[in-house]
């Protein structure tokens, strides 16, 4: 596997996307390859878990791209750390636009893989973009459902009105000259959350385990005016027709969001695979769990992208 750091123009908003393009062993530019776009979690960047999965898929014969979302990482755009879910969804399709310009990518064999909120954005992109022929997720999060129902999915969505108010107030302040208001995308301190998955998110993003200078772990509060009402699985009952693979940890507190997608997706080719002993975060980078996930993802894409 060889890797190239690239930049290309996002056809949706004109921003510059920073990405890693991974090519399989014995790559021949005169041949046609299946390709997979890999989307990072909310608050993440291409150098973290998305990059791990993109490399492993390339090692198994796929052309892959792991990229920084618009306004994040090394991609351009202001305000920095904007987490507008509609932009994040369109970013997936923008990478596919770029794939179609590469002569060695087979446009009829493009897949998409996402982790955490990146999984939700990937699903939403597939609902809207039939150029995506197969979809897989790891620790999928429907970020809107998480915002309005809580990490365990047990809260009354009416309570999230306070988040809408907070986001709207942030926008007003910024429009009148205040600095951009930020909010945590993962706990800034371990003791900030009672949830095991999110305590490990603190460790992942804010310790030597995976912290990255381009991943500050915060997002713009103004994004709440889109996030709270966003449904990554909107119209999945009608339009998510592509083969679907959902990888979840057996003790992941976020499993309910994968279960919800399993119920809602209209595709007849859908499967949930449970990695025993893993939680939400261990599937990001712990080798034994990542390797088990990859052992399912690779044959899934080889079957449905005819690799």
- Domain 2-149+231-304: CATH architecture, name and number where available: 3-Layer(aba) Sandwich (3.40)
Chain segment 223-269, per-residue pLDDT in tens:
999 999 999 999 999 999 999 999 999 999 999 999 999 999 999 99
So what's the pLDDT on residue 248? 98
Q: How far apart are CA 114 and CA 127, in angstroms?
A: 14
Chain segment 4-51, per-residue pLDDT in tens:
999 999 999 999 999 999 999 999 999 999 999 999 999 999 999 999
DSSP strand pairing (132-138 vs 105-115)? parallel
Q: Residue 56: count other Cβ atoms within 10 Å of its Cβ.
A: 21
So what's the pLDDT on residue 131? 98
Residue 307 has pLDDT above 90, yes or no: no
- Torsion angle in degrees (nearest 10) through CA of 15, 18, 21, 22: -140
Query: In the structure encoding, which two tokens stand for residue 47, read together?
Result: 């150098």
Chain segment 95-115, per-residue pLDDT in tens:
999 999 999 999 999 999 999
So what's the pLDDT on residue 149? 98
Chain segment 56-93, per-residue pLDDT in tens:
999 999 999 999 999 999 999 999 999 999 999 999 99
So what's the pLDDT on residue 20? 98
Asked if 219 contacts 80 with a C-beta cutoff of 8 angstroms, the reply is no
So what's the pLDDT on residue 260? 98
So what's the pLDDT on residue 7? 98
So what's the pLDDT on residue 141? 98
Chain segment 125-149, per-residue pLDDT in tens:
999 999 999 999 999 999 999 999 9
Chain segment 195-230, per-residue pLDDT in tens:
999 999 999 999 999 999 999 999 999 999 999 999
Chain segment 147-198, per-residue pLDDT in tens:
999 999 999 999 999 999 999 999 999 999 999 999 999 999 999 999 999 9
Query: In the structure encoding, which two tokens stand for residue 60, read together?
Result: 């198994």
Q: How far apart are CA 77 and CA 69, in angstroms?
A: 10
Which residues 6+ apart lie within 8 Å of 158 measured at CB? none
pLDDT tier at 292, thresholds 50, 70, 90: very high
């Amino acid at each position: 596997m060889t890797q190239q750091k690239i930049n290309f123009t996002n056809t949706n908003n004109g921003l510059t996307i920073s990405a890693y393009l991974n090519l399989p062993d014995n790559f021949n530019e005169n041949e046609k390859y299946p390709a997979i776009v890999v989307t990072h979690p909310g608050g993440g960047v291409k150098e973290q878990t998305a990059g791990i999965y993109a490399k492993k898929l390339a090692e198994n014969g796929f052309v892959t791209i792991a990229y920084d979302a618009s306004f994040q990482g090394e991609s351009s755009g202001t305000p920095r750390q904007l987490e507008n879910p509609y932009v994040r969804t369109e970013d997936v399709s923008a990478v596919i636009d770029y794939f179609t310009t590469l002569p060695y990518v087979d446009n009829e064999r493009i897949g998409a893989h996402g982790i955490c909120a990146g999984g939700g954005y990937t699903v939403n992109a597939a609902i809207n973009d039939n150029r995506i022929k197969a979809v897989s997720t790891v620790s999928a999060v429907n970020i809107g459902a998480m915002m309005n129902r809580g990490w365990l999915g047990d809260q009354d969505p009416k309570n999230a009105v306070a988040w809408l108010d907070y986001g709207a107030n942030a926008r007003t302040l910024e429009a009148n000259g205040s600095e951009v208001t930020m909010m945590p995308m993962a706990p800034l301190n371990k003791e900030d959350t009672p949830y095991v998955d999110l305590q490990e998110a603190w460790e992942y993003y804010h310790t030597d385990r995976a912290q990255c200078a381009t991943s500050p772990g915060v997002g713009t509060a103004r994004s709440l005016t889109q996030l709270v009402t966003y449904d990554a699985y909107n119209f999945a009952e009608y339009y998510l027709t592509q083969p679907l693979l959902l990888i979840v940890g057996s003790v992941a507190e976020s499993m309910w969001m994968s279960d919800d997608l399993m119920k809602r997706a209209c595709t007849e080719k859908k499967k949930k695979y449970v990695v025993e002993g893993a939680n939400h975060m261990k599937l990001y980078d712990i080798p034994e769990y990542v390797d088990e996930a990859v052992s399912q993802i690779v044959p899934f894409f080889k079957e449905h992208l005819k690799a």
